[in-house]
Amino acid sequence: MILVAQKEKGMSENRSEFNGKLCLVTGAGQGIGLACAKSLLAQGARVIACDVTQLALDVFQQSLPKCQQSNTLLIPFDLADSNAIQTACHNLEQDQLIPDYIVTCAGTLQLESVLDLPLEALTKTLDVNLKGTMLLTQQLAKILVKHSKQGAIVAVGSNAADTPRVKMSAYCTSKAGLHMWMQCLGLELAEHGIRCNIVSPGSTRTPMQEQMWNEAYGERETIQGNLASHRMGIPLNKIAETKDITNAIEFLLSDKSGHITMHDLRVDGGATF
């Protein structure tokens, strides 16, 4: 498997620091992951796009300009499947596709009260949001260290990691664990020149957010807050767009944040002040 490294004929010169870099993005089939993968490709990066289904990745690739499609490698795997994660990482190393940047956006959310939370829902949430992301970043970090390659890892967390939410106990718990994992990962990888940071979005216009609006409350209620649900509103009086989150991710990947690691960058419009 080879990703095109050179500039396609007819493409304009791209002076972004991501130009020619290899970036792995999970959750690339929708939401923040999709926006992040597209933004990096537009800046000349080569992207390893990962998602749970081949169909989601095919739709993603078909939506790209032809000049970017050859800079994209699609790898479908389920973060709840540890064997699939290890196989994907092994294959990348064998093909000498060692990422410069890693962005974990994949996640799942199931709304259930703490008294009604099924074990299956709890297990799936922890497997995808926490365990799978831990294993993936661990395996990729091993490869980076083995090949003496510096880089940056950004995990998309949530402002719910330290703010309890009604019917979101499994999600909040998984994100709290992910935050601590990224800080521990960053501490131990610092000596290898690998920075590890977190971007914590609040309410963002994505399919996951729309699912919450359909099942629990709406956009207006999210912005204004709801006392019955113990939710603060959003002081900036708007929902975040995926570009707002992508901008934060790219900052933490870039050399502009070269002295930042183990940091949690909150992008929630002030919702958890």
Domain presence at residue 272: no
Contact 132, 178 (CB under 8 A): no
Q: How confident is the model at residue 214 (pLDDT cuts 50, 70, 90)?
A: low
Note down the domain range covering 55: 22-202+241-267
Q: At what angle do helices 242-253 and 31-42 cross, to 10 degrees?
A: 60
171 part of the active site: yes
- What domain count does the chain have? 1
In this model, does residue 68 exceed pLDDT 50? yes
The answer, yes or no, to whether residue 14 has pLDDT greater than 80, is no
Helix residue spans in 63-113 (DSSP H) = 66-69, 82-94
> Is residue 231 in some structural domain?
no
Rounded Cα–Cα distance for residues 38 and 253 (Å): 15
Q: Tens of pLDDT along 52-62?
A: 999 999 999 99
Kindly tell me if the per-residue pLDDT of 229 is higher than 90. no
Q: Is residue 11 part of a domain?
A: no
Mean pLDDT confidence for 227-249: 91
pLDDT at 4: 52
Residue 227 lies in a domain: no
Look at residue 221 in the predicted model and tell me its pLDDT: 80
| Domain at 259, CATH number | 3.40.50.720
Average pLDDT, the chain: 93
Residue 100: is its pLDDT beyond 60?
yes
The residue annotated as part of the active site, out of 18, 60, 101, 171, is 171
| Helix or strand holding residue 155 (H, E) | strand 151-156
Report pTM.
0.92
Whether 63 maps to a domain, the answer reads yes
Domain membership flag for residue 259: yes
What integer pLDDT is reported at residue 205 of this predicted model?
92
Answer whether residue 97 is part of any domain: yes
Residue 235 lies in a domain: no
